[in-house]
Chain A
Amino acid sequence: MAPSVHYHCPCLSNSTTPPPPHLPSSSYSFHPLHTLFFCEECDAVRCNRCVSVEVSTYYCPNCLFEVPSASVRAEKNRFYLFVHKMPCNVLTRRRCARNCFMCPNCRNTLSVVPSDPPESGDGRLAVPISTVGEPPFFLYCNHCRWDSAEVGITFEKPTGLAAQLQKFEDSAPDSLEFERLKDHFEPFIRASSLSSSTTSHAVAHPSSAAHSHHLHSNSITAAASAALARDIPGVGKYNPLARSTSSRGIGVSGRDRSVNKDEMAEYRSRVEIAKASVVGTGGGDADVEFMRHLENVSEVASLDQRWENSWVTSLQTSDLKPLRIPLHSKRSKRCPACTHILIKPEQKAQSVRYKIKLVAANYLPAITVALPHAQKALTEAAKRTLGKSTSAVEDDKTPATGMVAGKTYPFHLALTNPLYDPIQVRLSPQRLNISTAPSKDGPPEKARRPPFVISLPTSTFPIAAFAEAWEYDDDEDMFGVEEGDDFGIRGGAREKDGRSTRSKTVGVLEKRANVTIVGGEVVIGKEAQGNVKFNTLVSYTYRSDDPAPSESNDGDGPSIPQGNKPPEVKTFAFYTVIDLGPIIPREDSKSVPDV
């Protein structure tokens, strides 16, 4: 594993310090920089775990057709939000309603193929005249060679497959049952969300007849019904008089809702489950009989193959039906605190551009870490095997690149400034008081001692501004200056143990373009185990373009006397966890080079 640097996202937590690096929770609150967002409004880092997400477009991953949200909601068997309110939310998902199907066997995309043309008699295949080929058509998997003719599904024409398959799907027991469930629950959901969103209105007009009459007559109900129609498709078509009038018309208006909730009729399933098992859906004797005569394991559909079904289906592989492809979505993301948009994709499904994209990489300095001794070993290995295949190199690189307990290693941190202004950075590693090897049964005073000690420059150091032009003359001086340039500030190098610091390892080693490389050093204890992994607080100051919010609120009174004051300076601090890799325990260290 290469050494890594991850960034902390507080995820709206109140505590300012991140969890210690050796705890498992650490990996949940630290993320790679490129996955993080930055909210300018809150001046804070946000991650995928804390942002609020909303779907902006649906598209089919196969035909790449953008499915308008309205039609996603309207599609009958894609009754997602409705289902969401019930415990069985895996019942249906949004799926492509065009001609895209998945192989039930291997999940590859199926293609429509024609039957073989009739033999022309001379033993050769006749040249097909028609572009589409001979009917009947069937779905064929290019990967596992499954075809839909095996399960008796063929098509007269190669277009409009979805419509041709619809009748199969509609008559399936699960969709019939689902229809029934929908009919059963719809009035209740409709009633409860209507009455909760427009409570005052509901009280005024206790009967649902009055409700539906007023549905579009005032703005509150119009909004509510619009929201409802969005959440529960098909509700517009529903006639509330059919079921609930009789129960709702009577009773005191204030108690109306609670009364209704209790009045939900008992649901009776279409198929009784005890009977269903007889026909081979859902365990029981039929399945036992099938398993008893099993000759080949592949006759049984694997759990993975049956997983997508909401209904208990036949165990037999020969009963698998082509699956519709679930839709994918493009999502916009919002800050959880201030709800400002952080990510807003372009509408077009396959565009990779964003209308709004506030990623942390554009605000925080990027930090990469390297172990010079490991790199040196790698480069030498590469030079040795130059001309040979590089894949051979990878095998024998581990011994030289590892860190052995009881030794001292330098490491380099390269900080890259993404801002157009120079910044001043200060690194403060968090003191580690607990052993990273908690399982070790050593004497308590020994376990208390940190397994390694980190030295980093404690003074602030500058990183030059990012300028596009740097990208061009980067090529020449990228590798020329490896060592020896001492124009950095070396003061403030923390002399930890006296013996540990050779003069040039700790401090600013190199500055070029918008990158500054600082050296650090890790002294690994003799008994150390686990990874060299430590939290570091990185704080940087930058010139802000807009004045501090307090001044702008006060008006220009206090700011006038200062005249040509220096530009406003702001500080931002964030935590990172730096993982230099595993420590090779002492006892193993001698045996490793022999391997």
Chain B
Amino acid sequence: MEPPIIYSKAEFIETDTGNKVSRRATIAGPQNIILGGKTIISSGAIIRGDLRRTGPGHAVVISLGRYCLVGEGCVMRPPYKTYRGNFNYYPMKIGDHVHIGANSVVEAATIGNHVEIGKNCVIGKFTIIKDCAKIADNTIVPPNTVIPALALFSGSPGRFVEDLPESTQEMVEAQTKQYYTRFQPSER
């Protein structure tokens, strides 16, 4: 029923696993970024895979699961802290079916599966977001916040508003899959 979301074919690169990455997104340190497949990186997004943990060897900085969406103008930046006098970045892990609205800044440590983050949100450093949580538009989540499963958070600072319905998982899953299907190149 929903009309398709048309994008210009020239703008997006489609990978073998169905990831669609805008050429207008800034992907720093792509070797440190994992996309699970069928994930969309919209134009203007900034993903900082270059901010890696100091030390030798390969390091995954940001990993995203399947059917994720990084909205337009989003900034994804791994969290950092100084621990025992050493400054360091820490990896960011994001599960499946996670949608992040336009112009949000995300510095979370962990985001579970089936999480919806609205537009213009700030997700502070080392935030932990559990499965099926939802962050309303324009929410400021302060650093080190824990957002429990099936909770709706909103406001500044983000506060618990209500419990989400039991069928949230199915709803979000259907919605993210549908979004990916609707996201179609223009004919030209």
Q: Is the CB of B166 within 8 A of A375?
A: no
Question: Quick one: which of B85, B140, B166, B168 contacts A343, CB cutoff 8 A?
Answer: B166
Q: How many angstroms from the CA of A478 to the CA of B179 in the assembled complex?
A: 12
Which residues of B have CB within 8 Å of A63? 146
Q: Is the CB of B1 within 8 A of A354?
A: no
> Closest CB of chain A to B12's CB: distance in Å?
12
Residue of B whose beta carbon sits closest to that of A103: B157
Known: A379-B3, A389-B72. A62 touches B167 (CB 8 A): no
Question: Quick one: which of B2, B102, B144, B177 contacts A111, CB cutoff 8 A?
Answer: B144
Question: Quick one: which of B102, B146, B150, B182 contacts A352, CB cutoff 8 A?
Answer: B150
B132 contacts partner chain A, Cβ-Cβ < 8 Å: yes
Question: Quick one: which of A127, A383, A391, A478 contacts B85, CB cutoff 8 A?
Answer: A127
> Closest CB of chain A to B23's CB: distance in Å?
12
A79 contacts partner chain B, Cβ-Cβ < 8 Å: no
Question: Quick one: which of B7, B157, B171 contacts A106, CB cutoff 8 A?
Answer: B157
Which residues of A have CB within 8 Å of B7? 386
Question: Quick one: which of A352, A474, A517 contacts B131, CB cutoff 8 A?
Answer: A352
> Closest CB of chain A to B45's CB: distance in Å?
12
Which residues of B have CB within 8 Å of A484? none
B55 contacts partner chain A, Cβ-Cβ < 8 Å: no
> Count the A-B residue pairs with Cβ separation under 8 angstroms: how many?
104
Q: Is the CB of B157 within 8 A of A378?
A: no
CB contacts under 8 Å to B, within A361-376, are 361, 368, 370, 375
CB contacts under 8 Å to B, within A383-411, are 383, 386-387, 389-391
If over half of B's interface residues share one DSSP class (helix, strand or loop), that class is named, otherwise mixed; here it is loop
Q: Is the CB of B72 within 8 A of A390?
A: yes
Which residues of A have CB within 8 Å of B142? 108-109, 141-143
> Closest CB of chain A to B35's CB: distance in Å?
19
Q: Is the CB of A61 within 8 A of B114?
A: no
Q: How many angstroms from the CA of A359 to the CA of B168 in the assembled complex?
A: 11
CB contacts under 8 Å to A, within B7-39, are 7-8, 11
Which residues of A have CB within 8 Å of B114? 352
Which residues of A have CB within 8 Å of B124? 142
Q: How many angstroms from the CA of A349 to the CA of B148 in the assembled complex?
A: 9
A528 contacts partner chain B, Cβ-Cβ < 8 Å: no
Q: How many angstroms from the CA of A256 to the CA of B171 in the assembled complex?
A: 58
Question: Quick one: which of A61, A107, A343, A471 contacts B157, CB cutoff 8 A?
Answer: A107
Which residues of A have CB within 8 Å of B144? 109, 111, 142
CB contacts under 8 Å to A, within B162-179, are 163, 165-171, 177
Which residues of A have CB within 8 Å of B177? 471
A414 contacts partner chain B, Cβ-Cβ < 8 Å: yes
Q: Is the CB of A383 within 8 A of B131?
A: no
Q: How many angstroms from the CA of A67 to the CA of B85 in the assembled complex?
A: 36
Q: Is the CB of B149 within 8 A of A352?
A: yes
Q: Is the CB of A359 within 8 A of B166?
A: yes
Which residues of B have CB within 8 Å of A390? 72, 102
A475 contacts partner chain B, Cβ-Cβ < 8 Å: yes
Q: Is the CB of A61 within 8 A of B146?
A: yes
> Closest CB of chain A to B96's CB: distance in Å?
13
A533 contacts partner chain B, Cβ-Cβ < 8 Å: no
B181 contacts partner chain A, Cβ-Cβ < 8 Å: yes
Q: How many angstroms from the CA of A96 to the CA of B129 in the assembled complex?
A: 19
Question: Quick one: which of A349, A361, A386 contacts B170, CB cutoff 8 A?
Answer: A361
A339 contacts partner chain B, Cβ-Cβ < 8 Å: no
Q: Is the CB of B181 within 8 A of A474?
A: yes
Which residues of B have CB within 8 Å of A35? 165, 167
Which residues of B have CB within 8 Å of A64? 130, 146, 148
Q: Is the CB of B146 within 8 A of A109?
A: yes
B145 contacts partner chain A, Cβ-Cβ < 8 Å: yes
Question: Quick one: which of B2, B8, B148, B168 contacts A386, CB cutoff 8 A?
Answer: B8
> Closest CB of chain A to B19's CB: distance in Å?
15
A218 contacts partner chain B, Cβ-Cβ < 8 Å: no
Q: Is the CB of A142 within 8 A of B143?
A: yes
Q: Is the CB of A107 within 8 A of B145?
A: no
Q: How many angstroms from the CA of A474 to the CA of B178 in the assembled complex?
A: 10
Q: How many angstroms from the CA of A424 to the CA of B110 in the assembled complex?
A: 46
Which residues of B have CB within 8 Å of A359? 166-167
New A-B pairs, 5, CB < 8 Å, besides A109-B144, A412-B1: A34-B171, A352-B132, A359-B166, A378-B3, A382-B5
- B contact set with A: CB distance below 8 Å: 1-8, 11, 44, 72, 84-85, 102, 114, 124, 130-132, 140, 142-146, 148-151, 156-157, 159-160, 163, 165-171, 177, 181-182, 184, 186
22 interchain pairs, CB-CB under 8 A: A34-B165, A34-B167, A34-B171, A61-B160, A108-B157, A109-B144, A128-B84, A128-B85, A142-B144, A143-B156, A328-B148, A328-B160, A352-B131, A352-B132, A352-B169, A359-B167, A382-B5, A386-B186, A471-B177, A474-B181, A475-B181, A517-B1
Query: Across chains A and B, which 5 residue pairs bring their CB atoms closest together, nearest first?
Result: A127-B85, A143-B142, A143-B157, A108-B157, A414-B1
